[in-house]
Structure 1
Amino acid sequence: MLGPVLIEQSARRSIKRLHKMYGAPALAAAAQLPALSAALDQHAAAVRDILEFGVDPDHGTPPVVLLTAYARGLLDQARETAPAPLGPEDSPPGPPGVPVDTAGWSEADWMVLRLAAVCVCAAPHLT
Protein backbone atom coordinates (compact mmCIF):
# COMPACT_ATOMS: atom_id res chain seq x y z
CA MET A 1 0.00 0.00 0.00
CA LEU A 2 2.96 2.33 -0.37
CA GLY A 3 1.68 3.63 -3.73
CA PRO A 4 -1.19 5.76 -2.36
CA VAL A 5 1.07 7.19 0.34
CA LEU A 6 3.66 8.25 -2.23
CA ILE A 7 0.98 9.77 -4.45
CA GLU A 8 -0.36 11.82 -1.54
CA GLN A 9 3.14 12.95 -0.51
CA SER A 10 3.89 13.98 -4.09
CA ALA A 11 0.60 15.88 -4.25
CA ARG A 12 1.42 17.69 -1.01
CA ARG A 13 4.83 18.73 -2.34
CA SER A 14 3.31 19.96 -5.59
CA ILE A 15 0.54 21.96 -3.94
CA LYS A 16 3.01 23.49 -1.47
CA ARG A 17 5.13 24.69 -4.41
CA LEU A 18 2.04 26.12 -6.08
CA HIS A 19 1.02 27.78 -2.83
CA LYS A 20 4.36 29.58 -2.68
CA MET A 21 3.89 30.81 -6.26
CA TYR A 22 0.16 31.54 -6.31
CA GLY A 23 -1.62 31.02 -3.00
CA ALA A 24 0.52 32.97 -0.54
CA PRO A 25 1.06 36.01 -2.80
CA ALA A 26 -2.64 36.09 -3.70
CA LEU A 27 -3.69 35.96 -0.06
CA ALA A 28 -1.24 38.73 0.84
CA ALA A 29 -2.58 40.92 -1.95
CA ALA A 30 -6.19 40.02 -1.09
CA ALA A 31 -5.64 41.38 2.41
CA GLN A 32 -5.19 44.79 0.78
CA LEU A 33 -7.64 44.42 -2.11
CA PRO A 34 -11.25 43.59 -1.20
CA ALA A 35 -12.15 42.92 -4.84
CA LEU A 36 -9.36 40.35 -5.10
CA SER A 37 -10.50 38.77 -1.85
CA ALA A 38 -14.01 38.43 -3.27
CA ALA A 39 -12.71 36.99 -6.54
CA LEU A 40 -10.61 34.42 -4.67
CA ASP A 41 -13.63 33.46 -2.57
CA GLN A 42 -15.70 32.93 -5.72
CA HIS A 43 -13.01 30.84 -7.37
CA ALA A 44 -12.54 28.79 -4.19
CA ALA A 45 -16.29 28.15 -4.04
CA ALA A 46 -16.21 26.94 -7.64
CA VAL A 47 -13.28 24.62 -6.89
CA ARG A 48 -15.10 23.20 -3.86
CA ASP A 49 -18.19 22.64 -6.02
CA ILE A 50 -16.11 20.77 -8.59
CA LEU A 51 -14.81 18.46 -5.87
CA GLU A 52 -18.19 18.06 -4.20
CA PHE A 53 -20.34 17.51 -7.28
CA GLY A 54 -17.83 16.29 -9.84
CA VAL A 55 -16.24 13.44 -7.89
CA ASP A 56 -17.85 10.26 -6.59
CA PRO A 57 -17.93 10.58 -2.78
CA ASP A 58 -16.90 6.92 -2.41
CA HIS A 59 -13.71 7.35 -4.45
CA GLY A 60 -11.46 7.46 -1.37
CA THR A 61 -8.92 9.77 -3.01
CA PRO A 62 -7.54 12.36 -0.57
CA PRO A 63 -8.69 15.93 -1.34
CA VAL A 64 -5.10 17.16 -1.71
CA VAL A 65 -4.56 14.62 -4.52
CA LEU A 66 -7.74 15.76 -6.30
CA LEU A 67 -6.81 19.42 -5.91
CA THR A 68 -3.30 18.81 -7.20
CA ALA A 69 -4.64 16.91 -10.21
CA TYR A 70 -7.01 19.78 -10.96
CA ALA A 71 -4.17 22.31 -10.66
CA ARG A 72 -1.98 20.23 -12.98
CA GLY A 73 -4.81 20.16 -15.51
CA LEU A 74 -5.07 23.94 -15.31
CA LEU A 75 -1.32 24.31 -15.79
CA ASP A 76 -1.41 21.96 -18.79
CA GLN A 77 -4.21 24.03 -20.31
CA ALA A 78 -2.26 27.23 -19.66
CA ARG A 79 0.79 25.79 -21.42
CA GLU A 80 -1.29 24.75 -24.43
CA THR A 81 -2.93 28.15 -24.82
CA ALA A 82 0.00 30.37 -23.82
CA PRO A 83 1.24 32.94 -26.32
CA ALA A 84 4.74 32.63 -27.69
CA PRO A 85 7.32 32.97 -24.91
CA LEU A 86 8.89 36.33 -24.34
CA GLY A 87 12.59 36.83 -24.68
CA PRO A 88 14.61 36.64 -21.45
CA GLU A 89 14.99 40.41 -21.37
CA ASP A 90 11.18 40.85 -21.45
CA SER A 91 10.30 38.17 -18.91
CA PRO A 92 9.06 39.30 -15.51
CA PRO A 93 10.60 37.66 -12.43
CA GLY A 94 8.86 34.55 -11.15
CA PRO A 95 6.62 32.05 -12.90
CA PRO A 96 4.96 33.21 -16.14
CA GLY A 97 1.70 35.04 -15.60
CA VAL A 98 2.07 35.36 -11.83
CA PRO A 99 1.73 38.96 -10.65
CA VAL A 100 4.79 40.30 -8.88
CA ASP A 101 3.07 42.95 -6.76
CA THR A 102 -0.29 43.90 -5.27
CA ALA A 103 -1.20 46.05 -8.27
CA GLY A 104 -0.54 43.09 -10.56
CA TRP A 105 -2.85 40.89 -8.49
CA SER A 106 -5.65 43.41 -9.00
CA GLU A 107 -5.44 42.56 -12.71
CA ALA A 108 -4.76 38.82 -12.42
CA ASP A 109 -6.43 36.67 -15.05
CA TRP A 110 -8.87 33.79 -14.54
CA MET A 111 -6.20 31.08 -14.64
CA VAL A 112 -3.97 32.70 -12.03
CA LEU A 113 -6.93 33.33 -9.72
CA ARG A 114 -8.16 29.76 -10.12
CA LEU A 115 -4.71 28.35 -9.30
CA ALA A 116 -4.52 30.59 -6.23
CA ALA A 117 -7.98 29.40 -5.19
CA VAL A 118 -6.93 25.75 -5.54
CA CYS A 119 -4.09 26.52 -3.13
CA VAL A 120 -6.49 28.19 -0.71
CA CYS A 121 -8.75 25.11 -0.82
CA ALA A 122 -5.79 22.78 -0.30
CA ALA A 123 -4.35 24.63 2.70
CA PRO A 124 -6.49 22.84 5.34
CA HIS A 125 -5.38 19.47 3.95
CA LEU A 126 -1.66 20.21 4.26
CA THR A 127 -1.33 20.12 8.04
Structure 2
Amino acid sequence: MAWLRIMRESAARRELAVLKDQLLAGLGAYSPALQAAIDQHAAAVRDILGLTAGSAGPVELAAYARGVQDSAAERGWRIDGAGDDWVMVRLLATVSLSSSERRSGLHDLPRL
Protein backbone atom coordinates (compact mmCIF):
# COMPACT_ATOMS: atom_id res chain seq x y z
CA MET A 1 0.00 0.00 0.00
CA ALA A 2 2.94 2.32 -0.59
CA TRP A 3 1.00 3.94 -3.43
CA LEU A 4 -1.71 5.05 -0.99
CA ARG A 5 0.84 6.67 1.31
CA ILE A 6 2.43 8.42 -1.68
CA MET A 7 -0.96 9.70 -2.86
CA ARG A 8 -1.87 10.98 0.62
CA GLU A 9 1.47 12.74 0.97
CA SER A 10 1.16 14.26 -2.49
CA ALA A 11 -2.34 15.58 -1.75
CA ALA A 12 -1.17 16.95 1.62
CA ARG A 13 1.79 18.71 -0.02
CA ARG A 14 -0.52 20.32 -2.59
CA GLU A 15 -2.94 21.41 0.14
CA LEU A 16 -0.11 22.97 2.15
CA ALA A 17 1.31 24.71 -0.95
CA VAL A 18 -2.09 26.27 -1.71
CA LEU A 19 -2.43 27.34 1.92
CA LYS A 20 1.05 28.89 1.82
CA ASP A 21 0.12 30.91 -1.28
CA GLN A 22 -3.11 32.10 0.35
CA LEU A 23 -1.34 33.08 3.56
CA LEU A 24 1.43 34.97 1.80
CA ALA A 25 -1.13 36.84 -0.30
CA GLY A 26 -2.93 37.99 2.86
CA LEU A 27 0.22 38.78 4.80
CA GLY A 28 0.80 42.39 5.69
CA ALA A 29 4.23 43.83 6.31
CA TYR A 30 7.02 41.38 7.08
CA SER A 31 9.26 42.02 10.05
CA PRO A 32 11.98 40.19 11.98
CA ALA A 33 9.52 39.98 14.87
CA LEU A 34 7.08 38.11 12.63
CA GLN A 35 9.82 35.66 11.60
CA ALA A 36 10.68 35.11 15.27
CA ALA A 37 7.01 34.41 16.03
CA ILE A 38 6.81 31.98 13.11
CA ASP A 39 9.90 30.16 14.41
CA GLN A 40 8.41 29.91 17.91
CA HIS A 41 5.11 28.61 16.56
CA ALA A 42 6.94 26.11 14.35
CA ALA A 43 8.71 24.72 17.41
CA ALA A 44 5.37 24.40 19.21
CA VAL A 45 3.74 22.65 16.24
CA ARG A 46 6.70 20.26 16.00
CA ASP A 47 6.36 19.48 19.70
CA ILE A 48 2.59 18.95 19.48
CA LEU A 49 2.78 16.65 16.46
CA GLY A 50 5.86 14.86 17.76
CA LEU A 51 4.06 14.00 20.99
CA THR A 52 0.80 12.91 19.38
CA ALA A 53 1.78 11.31 16.08
CA GLY A 54 5.46 10.55 16.55
CA SER A 55 6.38 12.54 13.45
CA ALA A 56 5.33 15.64 11.59
CA GLY A 57 5.08 14.63 7.94
CA PRO A 58 3.00 16.40 5.30
CA VAL A 59 -0.17 14.44 6.10
CA GLU A 60 0.01 15.33 9.80
CA LEU A 61 0.88 18.95 9.06
CA ALA A 62 -2.02 19.31 6.60
CA ALA A 63 -4.43 17.78 9.12
CA TYR A 64 -3.15 20.09 11.84
CA ALA A 65 -3.54 23.13 9.57
CA ARG A 66 -7.11 22.08 8.70
CA GLY A 67 -7.90 21.76 12.41
CA VAL A 68 -6.52 25.23 13.16
CA GLN A 69 -8.49 26.72 10.25
CA ASP A 70 -11.71 24.93 11.23
CA SER A 71 -11.45 26.06 14.84
CA ALA A 72 -10.65 29.64 13.82
CA ALA A 73 -13.47 29.70 11.24
CA GLU A 74 -15.94 28.81 13.99
CA ARG A 75 -14.86 32.06 15.68
CA GLY A 76 -15.23 34.07 12.45
CA TRP A 77 -11.59 34.07 11.31
CA ARG A 78 -10.96 34.24 7.58
CA ILE A 79 -7.71 33.56 5.72
CA ASP A 80 -7.84 36.98 4.04
CA GLY A 81 -8.30 38.75 7.34
CA ALA A 82 -5.82 40.51 9.61
CA GLY A 83 -2.09 40.21 8.93
CA ASP A 84 -0.14 38.65 11.74
CA ASP A 85 -2.72 37.38 14.22
CA TRP A 86 -2.18 34.12 16.14
CA VAL A 87 -3.95 31.94 13.57
CA MET A 88 -2.05 33.43 10.64
CA VAL A 89 1.30 32.97 12.43
CA ARG A 90 0.41 29.41 13.44
CA LEU A 91 -0.52 28.49 9.87
CA LEU A 92 2.60 30.17 8.47
CA ALA A 93 4.64 28.10 10.91
CA THR A 94 2.88 24.93 9.80
CA VAL A 95 3.52 25.55 6.12
CA SER A 96 7.11 26.50 6.90
CA LEU A 97 7.54 23.11 8.56
CA SER A 98 6.09 21.39 5.50
CA SER A 99 8.57 23.21 3.27
CA SER A 100 11.49 22.46 5.56
CA GLU A 101 10.68 18.76 5.69
CA ARG A 102 12.67 18.13 2.51
CA ARG A 103 15.37 20.59 3.49
CA SER A 104 16.58 21.12 7.02
CA GLY A 105 15.87 24.82 7.63
CA LEU A 106 12.71 26.49 8.83
CA HIS A 107 13.26 29.66 6.84
CA ASP A 108 11.60 28.69 3.57
CA LEU A 109 9.13 31.55 3.67
CA PRO A 110 10.22 34.33 1.37
CA ARG A 111 11.46 37.47 3.06
CA LEU A 112 9.01 40.22 2.22
TM-score range, shorter chain: 0.7 to 0.9
Structure 1 residues without counterparts, runs of 5 or longer? 86-94, 100-107
Q: Is 1:3 aligned to residue 1 of structure 2? A: no
Percent identical among aligned pairs is 40
Q: In the aligned structure 1, how far is the partner of 2:68 from the partner of 2:35? A: 21
Shift of 1:114: 0.1
**Residue pair 2:12, 2:58 contacting (<8 A) in 1 also:** yes
Secondary structure at the aligned position of 1:56 is classed as coil
Q: In the aligned structure 2, how far is the partner of 1:13 from the partner of 1:98? A: 24
Cα deviation 1:8-37 (Å, max 9, x = unaligned): 1110110010111225876x82xxx12111
Q: In the aligned structure 2, how far is the partner of 1:25 from the partner of 1:97? A: 7
Per the alignment, residue 110 of structure 2 pairs with none
**Residue pair 2:16, 2:95 contacting (<8 A) in 1 also:** yes
- Residues 123/98 of structure 1: CA separation in 2 closer, same or farther (3 Å cut): farther
Structure 2 residues without counterparts, runs of 5 or longer? 104-112
**Residue pair 1:23, 1:120 contacting (<8 A) in 2 also:** no
**Map of 1:92-111 to 2, 5 A cutoff?**
95-97=79-81, 99=83, 108-111=84-87
Q: TM-score normalized by structure 1?
A: 0.67
**Residue pair 1:41, 1:117 contacting (<8 A) in 2 also:** yes
**Residue pair 2:26, 2:81 contacting (<8 A) in 1 also:** no
Q: Is 1:123 aligned to residue 99 of structure 2? A: yes
Question: Alignment RMSD, CA only?
Answer: 2.6
Q: TM-score normalized by structure 2?
A: 0.75
| Greater relative contact order, per chain length (Cα 8 Å cut-off, separation 6+) | 1
Q: In the aligned structure 2, how far is the partner of 1:71 from the partner of 1:81? A: 16
Secondary structure at the aligned position of 2:54 is classed as coil
Q: In the aligned structure 1, how far is the partner of 2:99 from the partner of 2:82? A: 19
Secondary structure at the aligned position of 1:97 is classed as coil
**When the two structures are aligned, how many residues end up with a matched partner?**
101
Point out the structure with max Rg over C-alpha: 1
**Residue pair 1:21, 1:98 contacting (<8 A) in 2 also:** no
Residue identity opposite 1:111 in structure 2: V
